[in-house]
């Protein structure tokens, strides 16, 4: 079983602050994907990282894939209330199957 | 990004009845779709891989006779929860992939009374 550990599980910050959440595993993945999920909705894809050491930016969100392709981080700059949500990381293995972490619940207080 | 739809968005049924959930890829073809379930405040758990034109592949612990999957076309997979019981109440989500990334449907909330 490929386990992904996400930390912290819950994070509450004030609007305008920066935050970083982490996704760690002992397994190597062919790619890793980050999603944001709102209550009662399906996850929405934010980014896919494939190459070890890769950094991708999506507006105020910065995603990094570890050199060994086992871990990843998501950094949000100047967080806004619209960033509130459950951030899920998922590692892809054979047959395109995804293994999900439990998520980072982020709450941005106005 | 690619669009995946699910129907219905929510369903309430009596114990013992069967419920069918549809998953469609709207702007791409998908030979493979995935079915997940998610309990409150928990992550997504993969139930099965739906393969177009062949049998689904079920994850360990998932009863194939309980959760029937049919992938009859390149844009449609269905999940039927047979003889549903209250413990089957959950949020069911499908996904499909046009390439590397997976795109998820909006989910179906099932409540079995």
Closest residue in B to A4 (Cα) is B43
Is A88 in contact with B44 (Cβ distance < 8 A)? Answer: yes
Residue A2 in this model has a pLDDT that exceeds 80: no
Q: Please, which residues bridge with residue B33 across strands?
A: B50, B96
**pLDDT attached to residue A97:** 83
Angstroms from A22 CA to nearest CA on chain B: 16
Closest CB to A88 among B43, B91, B106: B43
Q: Grade residue A13 by pLDDT with cuts at 50, 70 and 90.
A: very high
Reported as a single tens digit per residue, the pLDDT across A23-58 is 999 989 888 999 999 989 999 999 999 999 999 999
Helices and strands (H and E) in chain A: how many: 0, 11
Structure tokens at B96: 């499909």
Q: Grade residue B68 by pLDDT with cuts at 50, 70 and 90.
A: very high
**Above pLDDT 70, what percent of chain A?**
98
The mean pLDDT of B56-72, rounded to a whole number, is 93
**Above pLDDT 90, what percent of chain B?**
81
Residue A1 in this model has a pLDDT that exceeds 60: no
For chain B, the average pLDDT equals 93
Reported as a single tens digit per residue, the pLDDT across B10-50 is 999 999 999 999 999 999 999 899 999 999 888 899 999 99
Alpha helices in B3-83 (DSSP H): none
State CA A19 to chain mean position distance: 12
> Which positions in chain A touch B39 (Cβ < 8 Å)?
none
**pLDDT attached to residue A3:** 80
Residue A105 in this model has a pLDDT that exceeds 70: yes
**pLDDT attached to residue B1:** 67
User: Which of 81-100 (A) contact B at CB < 8 A?
Assistant: 88, 90, 92, 95-100
The mean pLDDT of A68-97, rounded to a whole number, is 92
CA triple A53-A5-A82, angle to 5 deg: 80
Is B103 in contact with A35 (Cβ distance < 8 A)? Answer: no
Angstroms from A36 CA to nearest CA on chain B: 11
Sign of the torsion formed by the C-alpha atoms of A27, A31, A37 and A40 = negative
Q: Which of B1, B42, B43 to mutate to test the interface with A (most CBs of A within 10 A)?
A: B43
The mean pLDDT of A88-109, rounded to a whole number, is 89
Q: Tell me the Cα Rg of chain B.
A: 13
């Amino acid at each position: 079983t490929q386990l992904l550990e996400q930390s912290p599980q819950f994070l509450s910050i004030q609007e305008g602050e920066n935050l970083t959440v982490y996704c760690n595993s002992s397994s190597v993945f062919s790619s890793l994907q980050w999603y944001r999920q709102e209550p009662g909705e399906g996850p929405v894809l934010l980014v896919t990282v494939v190459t070890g050491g890769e950094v991708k930016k999506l507006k105020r969100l910065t995603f990094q894939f570890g050199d060994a392709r086992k871990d990843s981080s998501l950094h949000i700059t100047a967080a806004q209330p619209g960033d509130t949500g459950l951030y899920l990381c998922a590692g892809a293995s054979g047959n395109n199957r995804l293994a999900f972490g439990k998520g980072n619940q982020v709450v941005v207080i106005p | 990004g690619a669009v995946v739809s699910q129907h219905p968005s929510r369903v309430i049924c009596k114990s013992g009845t069967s419920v069918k959930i549809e998953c469609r890829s709207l702007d791409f073809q998908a030979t493979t779709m995935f079915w997940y379930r998610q309990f409150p405040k928990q992550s997504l758990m993969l139930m099965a891989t739906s393969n177009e034109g062949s049998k689904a592949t079920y994850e360990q612990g998932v009863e194939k006779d309980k959760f029937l999957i049919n992938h009859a076309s390149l844009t449609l997979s269905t999940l039927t929860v047979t003889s549903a019981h209250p413990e089957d109440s959950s949020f069911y989500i499908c996904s499909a992939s046009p390439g590397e990334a997976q795109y998820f449907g909006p989910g179906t909330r099932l409540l079995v009374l």
